[in-house]
Amino acid sequence: MTDETVLKLCGQNGLSELEETSVTLVMYNQSEVKPLGKKRFKVVNPKNNKKYSIEFHLVRGYCKSILGLRASEHLQLLTVNSQNILSV
């Protein structure tokens, strides 16, 4: 999620309440980005109206916000079936 999105959602206080993070994000083009910090947001799955608390890493600049695999599974947006993927 970008710092601009947080400013729209939370105002100026949203950026001052960031938790520190030691992760480095690796983009599709193999460039690395150090996040400004991380923050939890309550999100709603519009399909079932369930509420979830999801942790986002915040970056500076313009980019699309994306959900990771664990968050997508937690929100019940997708399931991964790993049984019998590699049968010998």
Assess if residue 54 is contained within a domain.
yes
Can you give the pTM of this predicted structure? 0.74
Total domains, the chain = 1
Contacts of 1 (CB under 8 A, 6+ apart): 39, 41, 56, 57, 58, 59, 65
Assess if residue 24 is contained within a domain.
yes
Q: pLDDT class for 64, splitting at 50, 70, 90?
A: confident
Q: pLDDT class for 10, splitting at 50, 70, 90?
A: confident
Burial label for 1, CB within 10 Å (0-12, 13-18, 19+), is buried
Residue 23 lies in domain: 3-74
